Amino acid sequence: MTHLKKGDKAPEFESFSYNGDKISLKDFIGQKVILFFYPKDNTPGCTAENCNLRDNYQLLKNKGFAIIGISADDDKSHEKFAKKFNLPFPLIPDKDKKIINSYNVWDKKTFMGKITEGINRTTFIIDENGFILHIFTKVDTANHAKQILDTLNI
Using DSSP bridges, classify how beta strands 22-24 and 32-37 pair: parallel, antiparallel or unpaired: unpaired
Q: Are 89 and 145 in contact (CB under 8 A)?
A: no
Catalytic residue among 25, 34, 46, 82: 46
**Residue 137 burial by Cβ neighbours in a 10 Å radius (0-12, 13-18, 19+):** exposed
Indicate if 46 belongs to the active site.
yes
Enumerate the active-site residues.
Answer: 46
